[in-house]
Amino acid sequence: MRKYIGKNVYEASVERIDYIFKNFKHIYVSFSGGKDSGVMLNLVIDYIRKNCPDRRVGVMILDNEANYTLSLEFMHRILDKNLDILDVYWNCLPITLPCTVSSYEIDWQCWGENDKKRWIRPMPKQDYVVNINNNKYDFFRENMGYQEFWDKFGDWYGKGEETACLIGIRTHESLNRWRAIMNEDKETHGGHMWTKKNFGNVYNCYPIYDWRTEDIWIGNDRFEWDYNRLYDIFWKAGLSIYKMRVASPFMSESKSSLNLYRVIDPTVWATLCARVNGANFVATYGKQISYSSFKLPPGHTWKSFVKFLLDTLPKEAAENFKSRFIQSFKYWGRVGRGLPQKTINELKEAGIEFKLNGNTAHGNKDKERVVIQSFPDHLDMLSCHNSDLASWKRFAITILKNDHTCKYLGLAPTKEQMIRQKHIQNKYSKI
């Protein structure tokens, strides 16, 4: 439920930043060059200039090779202008990233030495760039996953002491982000819901979590903040302000806008297609697939269609999906998920077989856990929002999306995936 506190989002975010600066010795901002992280960085810069000009903060960037030229120009512009208060860590390291544009490349490695001739763009030369030749991190291993790097960087930066990582994500952008921030089953700092203990003594902090998209652009205009001029091009191209994204083009959240590279940055586009398998195909056909209205091929149930899709995939991709689906089977069959009573009633009316496994242990503890041991083919008959519910249709859409991490199913990494990641790390550790 939305609560109004008698102040605007700007005032509230400044208060949160003030709390962070008064309670954390080590502070850094996660910066991607997008509109949200740009506002986050501008807010921090303004706060330091006004309240503590002798204070310095870190800026952490994970450069994945595939960036618009205008994004890079904006990032260098705002950083170079404020180097007197910013300690910049622009990371161009061989890190493994998820890839949802191909069934043949579940992951891909940016800035790999073996792929030097195929890099999407040349290595940046600024003094604050960290690459394999000047690596300063004792925790880094070649080909480590981006999430592991993210976690361990914060611990390294804070030297094991309490550290705040400021992240410009907003609940208005997606349901998943709303869940991440509003989840009551998490460890916070000082009881503030906009904080979350992440790794070691590092807390993720979301000072602009309640900003709407409109607020971002009002803030840029009102305070005359510098921003990524790529968004001007997006606007001229006819994109809604709610559809403009600057992120890794190979991740599920942004691959729908992959085709924009072709028009906006053709030089980058040419190298990008040569770099990652499936980029051109998804850019051409990705928008034509409406997963919500997808119809089964004749003669198939959703269950049989899932089995058909798995049989058509490369072995590695198929085994990955199978292990993730088994994880979902076990979760729903043994633990279950807390659901509203209305949803439970509709499941009964639809004839879906399930058991109740007591109330949830977090939140208001007013939701009963629903255990489903035999997944329904689909749940289209439910009138309520059923994105949390498992069905064979959700499995099929997960495959069609090339969602190798199974974010669409709301799953965390499996033990097997962690082992696989360590195997890959060991494989490439001596290269």
What share of the chain in percent tops pLDDT 70?
76
Mean pLDDT of the chain: 82
Residue 417 pLDDT class (50, 70, 90 cuts) = very low
How many whole angstroms from its chain centre is CA 156? 22
Residue 328 pLDDT class (50, 70, 90 cuts) = confident
Give me the long-range contacts of 78-82 (CB less than 8 A, separation at least 24): 78/38, 78/41, 78/42, 78/45, 78/226, 79/128, 80/126, 81/226, 82/45
Q: What is the pLDDT of residues 47-72, one digit of tens each?
A: 999 999 999 999 999 998 888 889 99
**Token output for 132:** 């394999």
Q: What is the pLDDT of residues 259-296, one digit of tens each?
A: 666 667 777 766 766 676 555 545 444 554 555 667 78
Domain boundary among 190, 214, 238: 214
208 shares its domain with 340: no
Tell me, yes or no, whether 409 lies in a domain.
yes
Tell me, yes or no, whether 66 lies in a domain.
yes
User: Lowest-confidence range among 115-119, 361-365, 408-412?
Assistant: 361-365
Domain boundary among 214, 249, 284: 214
108 shares its domain with 209: yes
What amino acid is encoded at 62 in this protein? L
Tell me, yes or no, whether 289 lies in a domain.
no
Tell me, yes or no, whether 277 lies in a domain.
no
User: Strand ranges (DSSP E) for 63-103?
Assistant: 86-92, 96-98
Q: How many domains does the chain contain in total?
A: 2
Domain boundary among 214, 233, 257: 214
210 shares its domain with 306: no
Please tell me which residue, 45 or 259, carries the higher pLDDT value.
45
Residue 245 pLDDT class (50, 70, 90 cuts) = confident
61 contacts 91 by C-beta, under 8 angstroms: yes
Residue 361 sits in which domain range? 302-428
170 contacts 13 by C-beta, under 8 angstroms: no
Please tell me which residue, 35 or 384, carries the higher pLDDT value.
35
Q: What pLDDT score was predicted for residue 176?
A: 62
User: Lowest-confidence range among 30-39, 68-77, 297-306, 403-412?
Assistant: 403-412
24 contacts 162 by C-beta, under 8 angstroms: yes
Would the pLDDT of 251 be above 60? no
312 shares its domain with 206: no
Sequence-distant (≥ 6) Cβ neighbours of residue 242 within 8 angstroms:
213
Tell me, yes or no, whether 15 lies in a domain.
yes
155 shares its domain with 25: yes
Tell me, yes or no, whether 251 lies in a domain.
no
User: Lowest-confidence range among 42-46, 194-198, 338-342?
Assistant: 338-342
CATH number for position 46: 3.40.50
As a whole number, mean pLDDT of residues 225-247 equals 86
Q: What is the pTM of this model?
A: 0.69
Tell me, yes or no, whether 27 lies in a domain.
yes
